[in-house]
Amino acid sequence: MQDDDPTQDTAQLDSERNFRLLLDGLVDYAICMLDPKGYVTNWNTGAERIKGYAASEIIGRHFSVFYTVRDREAGLPETALRTAQEKGKFEIEGWRVRKDGTEFRSFVVIDALYEDGELIGFAKITRDITERYKAQQALLESERQFRLLVSGVTDYALYMLDPQGNIVSWNAGGERIKGYAPTEIIGQHFSRFYTPSDQADGKPKRALGIAQTTGRYEEEGWRVRKDGTFFWASVVIDPIRDDTGKLIGFAKITRDITERREAQIKLEKMQRQLAESQKMDALGQLTGGIAHDFNNILMIVSGHLQTLKRSMGADPRLARAVQAIEHATDRGATLTNQLLTFSRRQQVNPERVDVSTLVRSVREVLDSGLGRDIKLELDLAPQTWPVVADVSEFETALVNLVINARDAMPMGGIVRVTAKNIQCNEPSGEFVSISVVDTGVGIANDVVGKIFDPFFTTKPVGKGTGLGLSQVHGFVHQAGGTVTVESEIGKGTQITILLPRAGTERAQTEMHMPQITSGSGTVLLVEDNPDVASASAELLTQLGYAVRWVADAESALNELERNGIDVVFSDIVMPGPMDGFSLAEAIKAKFPQLPILLTTGYSQAAQEALRKYPILRKPYRIHELSRALAELAH
């Protein structure tokens, strides 16, 4: 009999022992046996390790102790055994309870055991999968949070495309920026966000191609919203690949940076304007310096010329020579004046001016410069707001513009001068807009930035000095306005001046009559240039004044101590520690009653002085000097 074979017994015992060892060695698995009712009959080391009961403590107890109260109340232990019995096997994942009451996540398999067709119990294998479960939960949670994050982000459109470019996901940012709800857009091709011309150009496809081959595509450009409006977008496309490197789609991030772009454009514009105004300031200082020296020279010429004129007798040749010199000095004075207008940033004789009236009053002057083939048309609003400007500068500016228009139309044409009130955003406020429009050759793009520069001209030598528009520029800026150009080659040019509407201050009505009043008394002439001084002294003498001349401010103050001075007539720009303006201040402090007249060919200090003292512009004529001195008496 087999049963009696002792060797077989040993073999079986060995095998059972080995099996026992095997079961106990599986410390990661709780393996136990239950009888058909669910009482524990067998218990391995793994079970002890995982659940905390020693075999002696648990054998004989019902397996439902491993279940939570909740599960027990729900009848889970019974269901488990019944299912195992009916189906041969029951598998479940869930929370189980250790001896110490703590819970662990388990994966349980219960197999029904039959012998000769009869149920003899259950084999139950339990794994502690708490760690794996937690890791899984953490992953799920982070994925969930990530999904929430992506879908909740509203500043960015974050979405995915399949490899063909069809949209497979959509977030709140996409909806906010582009206007589509997820249901409207998922499944559509992303090229619909591109402008029609970009679409025609094949840009969407190219973008995906670049992302795929280089690993990233980045761009700024116009995109289209659902409602058809455009926005300036910053776009990034990244390819997404699986573990094997196969392309599974694209991640696309789009931001609406329209506002940022606009701010940037504005900044760039401001920087350009700043650079422009710095250039103009530098040129202004340069030209102002030249004008100052030049005016002193002109002052000498014209001063002595007037003396010559008075004493030259009746020789007609002399008379012609003097007239020619006078003419040339006038021309020189006009040129330096243009330079000065450009270099000065504030006006010398501001007055309240009605623009339409002024334009109408110079119509003849403008017309006379135009010639037969060119027609002048005025289009003046009946009621233009008053502006504050220097009338003669204004007239000169108009003449300069109209002459330029004429020169641009060698075959003839029409020059229109218009004036109207406008409400403006940039610059903001109320302005009177004055335009001079021609139908001439236009201005090339590479030239248009330079036309206001002093001495910039495209005209042949002797035809243009390049100061016309510099004068216009200077005049406009002194009056607090702006000047702009619009031009198209072959079509014509429009130069528009905007002058700010004047406040309600009272009109300054001043008459400029070339009238000579002789004076009397002693003038203290302060002038560092002896030639200019002698020319000025000559004019003063002719007007009937006695003259005492000093070359600097200090000597002037000494001279005043000696009494007998009725008027001080001083240059502003002088070498030495004190200029004419400081001298005037010093005199005013000491001799408050003493009238002071200042003169200058150019000075930045002139602006400060202007508010306190009358200023005579060099070169001055005898009647201007006479009037300025006469006005001091009032």
Ligand X SMILES: Nc1ncnc2c1ncn2[C@@H]1O[C@H](COP(=O)(O)OP(=O)(O)OP(=O)(O)O)[C@@H](O)[C@H]1O
Q: Does 459 bind ligand X (CB under 6 A)?
A: yes
Query: Angle 534-540-541 (CA atoms, 0-180°, nearest 5)?
Result: 85
Least separation in angstroms between residue 216's CB and ligand X is 49
Of the residues 284, 468, 474, 519, which one makes contact with ligand X according to CB under 6 A = 468
Provide the β-strand partners of residue 170. Answer: none
Give me the residue label for tokens 């090339």.
Answer: 444
Q: Is the Cβ of residue 233 or residue 405 nearer to ligand X in the bound state? A: 405
* CB atoms inside a 10 Å sphere around CB 536: 26
Q: Which does 81 bind (CB under 5 to 8 A by kind): Mg ion, ligand X, none?
A: none
- Whole-number Å distance between alpha carbons of 485 and 437: 10
Q: How far is the CB of 176 from ligand X (least distance, A)?
A: 49
Q: How far is the CB of 407 from ligand X (least distance, A)?
A: 6
* Cα distance between residue 585 and residue 259, in whole Å: 53
Decide whether 105 or 473 has the Cβ nearer to Mg ion: 473
Residue nearest to ligand X (CB): 468
Report if residue 81 touches ligand X, rule: CB under 6 A.
Answer: no
Closer CB to ligand X, 195 or 496, in the complex: 496
CA distance 553 to 534: 17
Residue 392 Cβ vs Mg ion, minimum distance, rounded to whole Å: 17
Contact 471, 342 (CB under 8 A): yes
Q: Does 468 bind Mg ion (CB under 5 A)?
A: yes
Given 33, 300, 467, 578, the residue binding ligand X (CB under 6 A):
467
Smaller CB separation from ligand X, 21 or 286: 286
Beta carbons of 429 and 396 less than 8 angstroms apart = no
Q: Which is nearer to ligand X, 64 or 457 (CB)?
A: 457
436-455 residues in contact with ligand X (CB under 6 A) are: 438, 440-441, 443, 451
Per CB under 6 A, the segment of 217-225, 433-441, 587-595, 605-613 that binds ligand X is 433-441
b/e per residue, 390-401, with b = 16+ CB within 10 A?
bbebbbbbbbbb
* C-beta closer to ligand X: residue 221 or 413: 413
Site string for ligand X, 190-209 (x = CB under 6 A): --------------------
How far apart CA 158 and CA 149 sit, in angstroms, is 10
Looking at 332, 412, 413, 464, which residue binds ligand X (CB under 6 A)?
464
Within residues 9-28, the interface with Mg ion by CB under 5 A covers none
Is residue 404 a contact point for Mg ion (CB under 5 A)?
A: yes
Nearer to ligand X, 470 or 603 (CB): 470
Six-digit token pair at 226?
């659902």
Shortest Cβ 289–Mg ion spacing (Å): 23
Residues touching ligand X, count (CB under 6 A): 21
User: Residue type for 262, please?
Assistant: E
Q: Does 440 bind Mg ion (CB under 5 A)?
A: no
Q: How far apart are CA 79 and CA 26, in angstroms?
A: 27
Other Cβ atoms closer than 10 A to 206? 12
Distances (CA, A) of 610 to 8, 526, 566, 620: 133, 18, 21, 17
List CB contacts of 56: < 8 A, sequence separation 6 or more. Answer: none
If the CB atoms of residues 191 and 457 are measured against ligand X, the closer one turns out to be 457
438 binds, among ligand X, Mg ion, none (CB under 5 to 8 A by kind): ligand X
Is position 121 an interface residue for Mg ion (rule: CB under 5 A)? no
**CA–CA distance from 132 to each of 50, 102, 243, 279, 313 (Å)?**
15, 17, 22, 72, 123
Report the partner that residue 440 touches, choosing among ligand X, Mg ion, none (CB closer than 5 to 8 A by kind): ligand X
Residue number of the CB atom closest to Mg ion: 468
* Concatenated DSSP letters of 19-32: HHHHHHH-TTEEEE
Whether residue 347 contacts residue 500, with contact meaning beta carbons closer than 8 Å, is answered with: no
Q: Which residue, 407 or 486, has its beta carbon nearer to Mg ion?
A: 407
Written as six digits, the tokens of 223 are 């995109």
- Map the footprint of ligand X across residues 389-408, applying CB under 6 A: 400, 404-405, 408
- Which of ligand X, Mg ion, none does 457 bind, CB closer than 5 to 8 A by kind? ligand X
- Part in contact with Mg ion (CB under 5 A); list of ranges 58-66, 279-287, 296-304, 468-476: 468-476
By CB under 6 A, what part of segment 221-260 binds ligand X?
A: none
CB-CB contact of 105 with 129 (8 Å): yes
CB closer to Mg ion, 126 vs 404? 404
472 versus 598: smaller Cβ distance to Mg ion: 472
What distances in angstroms separate CA 68 from CA 36, 38, 47, 52, 61, one per listed residue? 21, 16, 17, 15, 16
493 counts as binding ligand X under rule CB under 6 A: yes
**C-alpha separations of 256 from 224, 238, 264 in Å:** 11, 18, 14
Q: Which residues are near ligand X by CB under 6 A?
A: 400, 404-405, 408, 438, 440-441, 443, 451, 456-459, 464-470, 493
Q: Which residues are near Mg ion by CB under 5 A?
A: 404, 468
